[in-house]
């Protein structure tokens, strides 16, 4: 007599509230606002932006918005893509503002330092939250 194997379904982990909040903020703050900013600045006749810079900014913003939606639905690959794109976008923002501080006469230094602090904070909060044990467990359960 062999014992019967009972197939009990795994208990699903409830979606934490954090991915909703952070992905919405990523969509708006790292995707939509920079996209709208580039569009507004590119339409001004007194500002001459290089085409490559506009193209990279627009593409990166659209990719961040798409990755935030992908992570919002609970896919682990979307979580990783969002982390990478938010990091790249924020690092480019940090680099750009550091260069502006070094080249500028100091008129916008406080504002540039503020952008650097915000970008650093945004990288840190995304990596900290999306790598917490319970959040990773939620994302990995959907494999």
**Closest of 17, 28, 126, 120 to residue 74, by C-alpha:** 17
Provide the residue ranges of all domains of the chain, joining segments of one domain with +. Answer: 18-140
pLDDT, tens digit (0-9, with 9 covering 90-100), for 55-81? 999 999 999 999 999 999 999 999 999
Other C-beta atoms closer than 10 Å to the C-beta of 47 total: 9
Choose the most confident range, by mean pLDDT, from 22-36, 47-61, 104-118.
22-36
Question: Is the confidence at residue 82, as pLDDT, over 60?
Answer: yes
* Nearest to 71, CA basis, from 112, 18, 110: 18
* Torsional sign, CA 110, 113, 115, 121: negative
pLDDT digits (tens, 9 = 90+) for 11-38: 778 888 989 999 999 999 999 999 999 9
The rounded radius of gyration (Å) of the Cα atoms in the chain is 20
Task: Read off the pTM.
Answer: 0.85
């Amino acid at each position: 007599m062999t014992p019967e194997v009972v197939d009990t379904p795994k208990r699903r982990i409830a979606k934490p509230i954090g991915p909703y909040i952070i992905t919405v903020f990523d969509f708006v703050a790292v995707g939509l606002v920079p996209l709208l900013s580039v569009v507004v600045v590119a339409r001004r006749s007194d500002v001459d932006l290089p085409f490559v810079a506009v193209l990279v900014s627009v593409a990166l913003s659209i990719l961040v918005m798409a990755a935030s939606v992908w992570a919002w639905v609970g896919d682990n690959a979307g979580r990783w893509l969002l982390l990478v794109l938010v990091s790249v976008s924020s690092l480019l923002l940090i680099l750009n503002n550091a260069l502006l501080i070094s080249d500028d006469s100091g008129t916008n230094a406080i504002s540039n330092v503020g952008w650097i602090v915000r970008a650093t904070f945004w990288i840190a909060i995304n990596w900290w939250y999306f790598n917490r044990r319970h959040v990773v467990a939620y994302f990995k359960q959907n494999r």
